[in-house]
Each structure stands twice: as structure tokens, then as C-alpha cells.
């Protein structure tokens, strides 16, 4: 994994102060040029659009009709639309805060947190939440990719040999052992673009195929649980599913870091243009799938809407393969900031040399870890509910609001102060309640699950 270099403090005595400063600056620049987030800053505004679509649309959209079964028509419509509005607002805040300090760019979420809360406290507040979110979503994407591959195989080969989900997760993960060596965000732009196109494609297939099947005979729109506690727990889990669907904030600063910036043309202008387009695409994907899927199948819809569709066979097979391609890109979008955190710590703090061997060991280990956990706990719907509430809600719904209040200090009871506190209160409630439902669902599903089946 590379050998430790002689520390800078031990070397500086042999140089003049000017030489020391130049050497330190040169070393810092070479390290920044090697790290994934700060390596290149030549992205265009449309990079922001498809990176954000890839980060947000994915596993979550396919579970929205199922979430509607647990929420019901009234609460479901309100929660979905309100979540779209709140997360659009908090994403605008993050784009604005990226360059709030003249001459300084907050390239990483934790750097913004450190500016707001202090060097140490900022790290402790942001990094654990961001890591839980990004690692958790990569695990869910492993499960999603494997499940979609299995569905594709079963659709095209209905009489074929029965193959365990475990093996499909391994097949899906195999490509990431190669793609994870792409050095930075810009290098995965083509993959991200393909993933964004796929997300729009399979979302369209999901709701148009549902519409074509029509309202199912004896469709029911009541809650699926037969007891009041079960209904409540399922409702809470569904809140987590919705939160999971709006989780692109965890990588938005890292995406904006790839866009060039000048005093006359700051990065927030092209970034915001891309974000607006991305959120329009999100609405086009989310709302028809959620509402039409639930309308057609009612309470009988499965946790992945594509599992409820059977005809036309070729179209469902294509849609599942589109999901696989999309999740490949989504996994890399969320993995890149994790790679950056790991490599930054090893190179800047522990003084390892920035070598390919270091990158090989860290990234291969990460892919292997997420693959192993996904194979062990492939509870798709329950994982969405748990991670959506526990990890996505803080970093998406209210942490940007807290940072905004801490930095800008708007007047009490002003419009800005009021809106931010409403988002904070709703987000905290989501963080507390949603994981309860998700964890309960995981326990229920685990009670009948055979490991590596």
C-alpha cells in the first residue's frame, strides 16, 4: 500500500522559508490533482444535470408505488410533492454555499460543515452521516443490480436453471472492480450520461407498461397490514423509501467542484442550470411511476414495480437491463466521494504515497465490502426505508438548513428563518420515525430469510 514518506516537518529545516512554502504548495497541488474530487475542473453545466439525475433517480423510483400502498393516496401524494419541494430548496442552498467565501470553494460536504461548525465538530457532524449514506446506498445499489439481473434472466429464460440472487449480485459487482479505477468524476461522465438516459427510459417503461395493463381486477387501495401497529410501522418505513428517493445532496458539492469558476462566472450559475434540468427530469420520472403504478396495481404492487409487470416480456426484460446500466453509474457516483475520503486520509494525514497500488487496495476492498454486505442482507424494500430515514434525511432535508442558519444568521421569524426551521422540524421527524419502520421490516423479512439463498 505504499511506504510512509518522511514527514514535511522533518524536511523543512534544510530549506529556506520560501523554498519550504513553494514545496508545500507544490505537494498540495500534486495531491489535489491526484484525488478524485479536485483532480479536474473543466465540467460543463450539463455534466451537473446528468450527474444529479444519476445520483438521485435509481433504486428509489421503482419502490415509490409500493411506498404509496403504505402511505395511502392522500398522504402519499402530499409527501412525495412536499419532498420534491423541500429537497429542491435545500439543494439550491448547497449550490449557493459552495462559493460563499470569496476565493474559497467547499469541494466536499464535510468542508462546508467544518466552516459552519468548526474543524473538529464539522467533521463529526457531517462525515459519519455522509459515509453511512454513501456506503449504504452503494449496498442497496448492489442489491438492486443483482435483483434486476435476476429478473432479466428469469424473464428471458423462464424455463432456465434457477440461479441464486447471491450469484447475480456477484456478477453485477464484477464490473465495479474495473470501473472503480477510473480516477475522478469527469472520467465517469460517459457512464453517468448513459445511466441518466437509462433512468428516464426505464421509468417511462414502468409507468407506460403499467398504464397499458390497465387497472387490475379487484384492485384494492387499502393498507396491506391487518393490524394497526403493522400499518403504522409500514407507514414509517414508506417515509424512508421516499427520503431515499431524494438523496442526491450527498454528492452535490463534489459534483459542483468539477465545474470551472471565475469571479465573473462562478460555478453556481452552470451548476444551478444543471440542477433545475435534473429536478425536472426527476419529476418526470417519479410522479408518473408512483401514481400510475399505484393506481393500476393498488395494494398488490411489489416493492420493485418492474416485478409486478409481466407483459410484454421483451419490454420488461429491456427495462430491467436499463436498471442494471443505470445502477452501475449510480454506484460509481456515490463511491467516488468515499474513495476521495479514504485516499485523502491516507495521503494527507497518514502520508502514504499517492500510488496506483494504494488506489488498487482501497477501491478493491471497498467494492468487495459492499458486495459482501449486499449478498448477506438483500432486503431491498426494507433497506430503502432504513437507510432513507437514518442516512438520507439528515444530509438531504435539514443539514443544509442548519448550516445556512449557522452561517447567514437570518433574522428570527423572517421568511428564510421560518422556511429553514420548517424543513428542520420535518426532517428531524423523518430521521427519527422512518428508521423504526425500516428496521422492523428488515427484522420481519430476516425471520424467514436463508442466508446466501
Residue 9, all three cell numbers: 516537518
Residue 94, all three cell numbers: 448547497
Say what the pLDDT of residue 19 is.
Answer: 42
SS3 109: helix
Domain that holds residue 424: 40-446
Residue 316 lies in a domain: yes
Instruction: Measure the N-to-C terminal CA separation of the chain; round to a whole number of Å.
Output: 35
Q: How many domains does the chain have?
A: 1
Say what the pLDDT of residue 43 is.
Answer: 81
90-124: buried (b, 16+ CB within 10 Å) or exposed (e) per residue?
bbbbbbbbbbeeeeebbbbbbbbbbbbbeeeebee
141 vs 173: CA distance, rounded Å: 10
Residue 2 lies in a domain: no
Say what the pLDDT of residue 441 is.
Answer: 74
Residue 4 lies in a domain: no
Sequence length of the chain is 453
Residue 29 lies in a domain: no
141-173: buried (b, 16+ CB within 10 Å) or exposed (e) per residue?
bbbbbbbbbbbbbbbeeeeeeeeebbebbbbbb
Residue 32 lies in a domain: no
Say what the pLDDT of residue 87 is.
Answer: 92
Would residue 410 be called left, alpha or beta, if left means φ above 0 and alpha means ψ between -120 and 50 degrees? beta
273 vs 145: CA distance, rounded Å: 30
Say what the pLDDT of residue 380 is.
Answer: 55
Could you say which DSSP state residue 218 is in? T
Say what the pLDDT of residue 48 is.
Answer: 87
Residue 376 lies in a domain: yes
Residue 429, all three cell numbers: 421527524
pTM to 2 decimal places? 0.85
pLDDT per position in the chain (453 positions), as tens? 444 444 444 444 444 443 434 444 555 677 777 887 766 777 888 888 988 888 887 666 888 998 899 999 999 999 999 999 999 999 999 999 999 888 889 988 999 999 999 999 999 999 988 888 888 888 888 988 998 899 899 888 877 788 888 999 999 999 999 999 888 877 888 999 999 899 899 899 889 988 988 888 888 888 877 888 888 888 888 888 788 778 778 889 989 988 988 888 889 999 999 999 999 999 998 999 999 999 999 988 887 787 788 667 888 889 889 989 999 999 999 999 999 999 999 998 888 898 889 999 999 999 999 999 998 877 655 666 676 677 778 888 999 999 999 999 999 999 999 999 999 999 999 888 888 877 777 777 766 666 665
* Three-point CA angle 331, 2, 14, nearest 5°: 125
CA dist 24 → 8, 33, 300, 351 (Å): 8, 14, 62, 13
Residue 139 lies in a domain: yes
331 vs 172: CA distance, rounded Å: 11
Residue 167 lies in a domain: yes
The CATH number for 315's domain is 1.20.1740.10
Q: 342-348: list long-range contacts, CB under 8 Å, 24+ apart.
A: 342/366, 343/34, 343/35, 343/36, 344/35, 346/1, 347/31, 347/34, 347/35, 348/31
319 vs 290: CA distance, rounded Å: 16
SS3 198: helix
Amino acid at each position: 500500500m505504499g511506504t510512509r514518506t518522511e514527514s514535511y516537518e522533518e524536511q523543512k529545516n534544510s530549506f529556506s522559508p520560501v523554498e519550504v512554502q513553494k514545496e508545500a504548495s507544490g505537494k498540495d497541488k500534486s495531491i489535489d490533482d491526484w484525488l478524485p474530487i479536485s483532480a479536474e475542473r473543466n465540467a460543463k453545466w450539463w455534466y451537473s444535470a446528468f450527474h444529479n439525475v444519476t445520483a438521485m433517480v435509481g433504486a428509489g423510483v421503482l419502490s415509490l408505488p409500493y411506498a404509496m400502498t403504505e402511505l395511502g393516496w392522500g398522504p402519499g401524494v402530499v409527501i412525495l410533492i412536499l419532498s420534491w419541494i423541500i429537497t429542491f430548496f435545500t439543494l439550491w442552498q448547497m449550490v449557493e454555499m459552495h462559493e460563499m467565501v470569496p476565493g474559497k470553494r467547499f469541494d466536499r460536504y464535510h468542508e462546508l460543515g467544518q466552516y459552519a461548525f468548526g474543524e473538529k465538530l464539522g467533521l463529526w457532524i457531517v462525515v459519519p452521516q455522509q459515509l453511512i449514506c454513501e456506503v449504504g446506498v452503494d449496498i442497496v445499489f448492489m442489491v438492486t443490480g443483482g435483483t434486476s439481473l435476476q429478473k432479466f434472466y428469469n424473464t428471458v429464460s423462464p424455463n432456465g436453471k434457477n440461479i441464486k440472487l447471491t450469484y447475480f449480485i456477484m456478477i453485477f459487482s464484477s464490473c465495479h472492480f474495473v470501473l472503480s479505477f477510473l480516477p475522478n468524476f469527469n472520467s465517469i461522465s460517459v457512464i453517468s450520461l448513459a445511466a441518466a438516459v437509462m433512468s428516464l427510459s426505464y421509468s417511462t417503461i414502468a409507468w407506460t407498461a403499467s398504464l397499458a395493463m390497465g387497472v387490475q381486477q379487484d384492485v384494492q387501495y387499502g393498507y396491506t397490514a391487518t393490524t394497526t401497529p403493522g400499518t403504522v410501522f409500514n407507514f414509517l418505513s414508506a417515509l424512508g423509501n421516499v427520503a431515499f428517493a431524494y438523496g442526491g445532496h450527498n454528492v452535490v458539492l463534489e459534483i459542483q467542484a468539477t465545474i470551472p469558476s471565475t469571479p465573473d462566472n462562478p460555478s453556481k450559475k452552470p451548476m444551478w442550470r444543471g440542477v433545475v434540468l435534473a429536478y425536472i427530469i426527476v419529476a418526470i420520472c417519479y410522479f408518473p411511476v408512483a401514481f400510475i403504478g399505484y393506481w393500476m396495481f393498488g395494494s398488490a404492487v411489489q416493492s420493485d414495480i418492474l416485478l409486478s409487470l409481466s407483459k410484454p416480456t421483451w419490454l420488461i426484460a429491456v427495462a430491467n437491463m436499463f436498471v442494471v446500466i443505470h445502477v452501475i453509474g449510480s454506484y460509481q457516483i456515490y463511491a467516488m466521494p468515499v474513495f476521495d475520503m479514504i485516499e485523502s486520509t491516507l495521503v494527507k494525514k497518514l502520508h502514504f504515497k499517492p500510488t496506483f497500488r494504494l488506489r488498487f487496495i482501497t477501491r478493491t476492498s471497498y467494492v468487495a465490502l459492499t458486495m459482501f454486505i449486499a449478498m448477506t442482507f438483500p432486503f431491498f424494500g426494507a433497506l430503502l426505508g432504513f437507510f432513507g430515514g437514518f442516512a438520507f434525511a439528515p444530509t438531504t432535508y435539514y443539514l443544509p438548513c442548519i448550516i445556512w442558519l449557522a452561517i447567514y444568521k437570518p433574522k428570527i421569524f423572517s421568511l428564510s428563518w421560518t422556511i429553514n426551521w420548517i424543513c428542520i422540524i420535518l426532517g428531524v421527524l423523518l430521521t427519527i420515525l422512518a428508521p423504526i419502520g425500516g428496521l422492523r421490516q428488515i427484522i420481519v423479512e430476516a425471520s424467514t430469510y436463508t442466508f446466501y439463498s
